[in-house]
Amino acid sequence: MTSQNNLRRKALPNAADFLPIIRDEILLLENERLLSTIDELIEKTSGEKFYLVMLGLFKRGKSSIINALLQNEIVPTGVIPLTAIITIIEYGTENYAEINFLDGKKEKIPIEEVYKFVAEKENPKNIKNVALMKIYFNSEILKSVTIIDTPGVGSSLEHNTETTNEFIEKIDAALFILSVDVPITKAEVEFLKKIKTSVPKIIFVLNKIDLFTAEQLDEAENYNLGVLNEICDRKPLEILRISGRNAIAGVVKGEKTLIEESGINSLNFRACRQ
């Protein structure tokens, strides 16, 4: 499957020339879902976008790491499963968000109001009929990378898992987020087995390192690596140690040392060079 993905990507420059023609044919068929997929492909190939997707179980700190990468509190975080909608974060000279509804309508809102539509508490089971959320933000990293925040997999909210599974085929690379306070679980293993042949590049991240001592971190990392090496054929594997919470705290407080110790700069470099 990996080789098929590589061949598909190498063929994109030529295939892109035919996408508008295909779109015209689909338009005649009145297939809105397929039309939407073709539109995404046209947009992606014309702009040479690179999709970096945050994946993992719920409450592993995906949203916190996104905020740390962007050095701003853009996506909501909390103590309960939050992200219920796919959120695409792209570069923009103006900071704002755009809601894309299932009926095709769009609405521009301030970034501060994003939580009203992507948070499970504010939009339970997507009763507001949001297809996806787009956030436009002026950040250097977004000039070369489009970041995708996905609903956490494995929570009691089954629709969140379904939403993330439907998005897997659109991934160029993924940050697979693990949490230092919870050894890799059976659910994470099963999810990784499902995506490992479909996602061309996976970067493993061990988040919340501020919770453990150096010795405990080594023990946690070695255990997770042992499990990952049994699953993945892309070796040698490594896990980046990150504290999303300390990274964003360092930005807010203006403490460069806290940012450096958080490990986010290493992750930023890896994300940008993909």
The domain locations on the chain are 1-48, 49-272
Long-range Cβ pairs for the range 33-40 (8 Å, 24+): 40/170
**Which CATH number, 3.40.47.10, 3.40.228.10, 3.40.190.10, 3.40.50.300, labels domain 49-272?**
3.40.50.300
Confidence label for 218 from pLDDT (cuts 50, 70 and 90):
very high
pTM beyond 0.75, yes or no:
no
Distance separating alpha carbons of residues 190 and 37, to the nearest angstrom: 27
Mean pLDDT of the residues in the chain: 76
pLDDT of residue 59: 72
Residue type, 160: N
Q: Residue 125 has which token pair? A: 């089971």
In this prediction, what percent of the chain has a pLDDT beyond 90?
22
**Sign of the C-alpha dihedral computed for residues 246, 251, 255 and 257 taken in this order:** positive
pLDDT of residue 136: 96
pLDDT of residue 5: 46
Please write the tens of the pLDDT for every residue from 25-66.
Answer: 445 555 555 555 545 544 554 455 678 888 877 778 888 888
